[in-house]
Amino acid sequence: MLEVSNLRAGYGAVEVLRGIDLAIDMGEIVTLLGSNGVGKTTFSAVVSGLMQPWSGAITFEGKPIAGLSSQAIVDEGVIQVPEGRHVFPNMTVRENLELGSYRRGKGNRMRNIEHVAEIFPRLRERFSQKAGTLSGGEQQMLAIGRGMMAEPRLLILDEPSIGLSPLLVEEMFSLIKQLNTDGLTILLVEQNVLQSMEIADRAFVMENGEIKLSGIPGDLMDNPELQRSYLGLA
Amino acid sequence: MKTDRKLLMLIAVFGLIGLAPMLIAQDSLLNIIIMTLYAALLGQAWNILGGYGGQVSFGHAAYFGTGAYAVAVLQVQFGINPWIGLVAGGIAAAAVGAFIGFCTFRYGLRGSYFALVTLAFAEVLRILSNSVDFTGAGVGLLIPLERSAANFQFVSKEGFFWVIWILTFAAFLTVWKIGNSRFGAQLMAVRDNEDAARALGVDAFRVKMGAIMLSGFFAGLAGVFYAQYFLYLDPHIAYGAAISVESLLVPIIGGMGTLFGPLLGAAFLHGLSELSRAVIGDAPGISLVLYGVLLVIMVLFVPRGLAGLASHLRSGKPGQPRAEEGKGHA
């Protein structure tokens, strides 16, 4: 579904992504793991068109999308939910959701809102509330719901668990799993190794702008390098 | 429902203002209302870009001055009717907005960088208008007195009142429409978080270009009105910092990003200005001193402006600054 090969990108003269190769098949949850500053967010920004790549290829459903504008990539069905939630705080929950669906036409908007409200019933209760007054967990649900409004075929979630309490993190991961069970392909960019591995079909581990390890979670969890670097096990 | 209420309120407020010529016989009082409406128009123009779009401009004189000079130059140098100049002034100012917007938004300038560049553009235009002959250079342009409605020069203040009433009402209706449109939602999304808006497929560049052109258009109309009302222009009046300061102060005091904020701010500022004139006299620069003090007070104690204060008094909730994104609690 998504194929990335030899992707390079950076800021100014600083190269952040140093030849990333990665592929996601339809219906999978793929997790991209790595500690702070390894280039995970840069990767999701480049794939979603928020940043231009220096070189390399990205194809989505066979179509090259590297270097396209974020609008064009949204039109193709790749939606990114940015790190840190980023809801529009002065708009109501409903207005936030509607913004996600503007590129899909008026007809689909109501249907999509109903669909999102079914997935996140707590949002329905708060439709007319200002998004800035929601709790962190609700804001994260809204950010994902807003992404769902754009009818994604691939949803990129950038650190959805960041800043949430352990209980909410648990809830968030089971929600992500549920979205995937309903047929959505997900790229989960995370630092939370254990919980990401639990729900992912495959995992990639980044270090210094490169993919260091990749494979199915069961195998990777036994990898001594991963255990040492990310799980604190000797 | 809420939307319709705002529109009804807008119509009611402007309907009430429209009664002024019937109720007020004194020219000096009508003049205060005219100048208040003019300031509200200028402030609303700024509010489109700064309040709804979050692109704070320090150089709205660039658009105001372009509108003013367009009508004056077309009239004085080419004999073109000022009613045509009114449209031309608005379009010319929108074109300047498009140029400034392209030069800044295209290269991702935001925040203080954008504000400083707008200030620089206004200064460049001031220097240019001071240097070329067709604007009358430093001497300025005197629009010949030919009183007639067909010439956009009215015998009584009432004619001017209706022109500025229509222009200001049109600007407020446009902003009401923006607040209820897809364009408005995208503009506010870009204001709150540009990257998140782009991730949803919002074309931030196009949205900001639309806002700066619309903002420039209405500021240009304010400039045209000013030129026709006072029949004199020079570079300092047209492109001076005082216009830029007034255009941003009005919505900041009234309430940035609110429909009625610029009207409240304009009424408050002009009320204060008249009061200070009555108490202190017409000392040069006194209004700027007052504006400065007022700005500090508003930013410190009433950050959401008078409109925010009014909604606070109605709801009983604290008048906090506009929310920043990503501040939820886990």
Q: Which H, E and C letters describe A16-42, residue by residue? A: EEEEEEEEECCCCEEEEECCCCCCHHH
Average pLDDT over residues A110-134: 86
pLDDT band for position A231 (50/70/90)? low
Residue-range domain boundaries for chain A: 2-77+152-230, 89-150
Given this model, what pLDDT does residue B326 score?
A: 44
**From residue A212, how far is each of A193, A197, B288 by CA, in Å?**
15, 16, 62
Closest-approach residue (CA) in chain A for B187: A99
Mutation site, A73, A76, A86, A170, interface B, largest B CB count within 10 A: A86
Out of 3.30.360.10, 3.40.50.300, 3.90.650.10, 3.40.50.2020, which CATH number does the structure's domain A2-77+152-230 have? 3.40.50.300
Instruction: Please report where in the chains the tokens 């002065």 appear, as a residue.
Output: A90
Which of A152, A157, A188, A1 lies closest to A74, judged by CA?
Answer: A152
Distance from A8 to chain B by nearest Cα, in Å? 20
User: For residue A168, how many C-alpha atoms fall within 13 Å in the half-sphere facing its CB?
Assistant: 15
Cross-chain Cβ contact A81/B199 below 8 Å: yes
Residues of chain B with C-beta less than 8 angstroms from the C-beta of A157: none
Q: Does residue A170 sit at the B interface (CB-CB below 8 Å)?
A: no
How far apart CA B146 and CA B154 sit, in angstroms, is 9
Residues of chain A with C-beta less than 8 angstroms from the C-beta of B328: 85, 87, 132, 134-139
Could you report the per-residue pLDDT of A135-160, keeping only the tens digit for each?
888 888 899 888 888 889 999 998 88
User: For residue B253, how many C-alpha atoms fall within 13 Å in the half-sphere facing its CB?
Assistant: 27
Mutation site, B200, B256, B327, interface A, largest A CB count within 10 A: B200
Dihedral in degrees, nearest 10, Cα atoms B155, B161, B163, B165:
-170
What percentage of chain A exceeds 70 in pLDDT?
97
- Into which CATH architecture does domain B2-315 fall? Orthogonal Bundle (1.10)
pLDDT band for position A197 (50/70/90)? confident
**From residue B258, how far is each of A25, B188, B317 by CA, in Å?**
47, 11, 17
DSSP state of A158: E
How far apart CA B83 and CA B89 sit, in angstroms, is 10
Q: What is the pLDDT along chain B (330 residues), one digit of tens a residue?
A: 455 789 999 999 999 999 998 888 888 889 999 999 999 999 999 999 999 999 999 999 999 999 999 999 999 999 999 999 999 999 999 999 999 999 999 888 888 899 999 999 999 999 999 999 888 888 889 999 989 999 999 998 999 999 999 999 999 999 999 998 999 999 999 999 888 899 888 999 999 999 999 999 999 999 999 999 999 999 999 999 989 999 999 999 999 999 999 999 999 988 887 777 777 777 777 777 777 787 788 778 887 888 878 777 776 554 555 655 444 444
Strand residues in A86-220 grouped as ranges (E): 154-158, 185-190, 202-207, 210-215
The residue type at B182: R
pLDDT band for position A8 (50/70/90)? very high
Residue-range domain boundaries for chain B: 2-315
The residue type at B306: L
Closest-approach residue (CA) in chain B for A71: B201
Cross-chain Cβ contact A132/B325 below 8 Å: yes
How far apart CA B93 and CA B259 sit, in angstroms, is 22
The answer, yes or no, to whether residue A221 has pLDDT greater than 90, is no
User: How many Å is the maximal CA-CA distance in chain B?
Assistant: 68
- DSSP H helical segments within B79-203, as ranges? 82-105, 111-131, 157-179, 182-192, 194-199
Residues of chain B with C-beta less than 8 angstroms from the C-beta of A168: 330
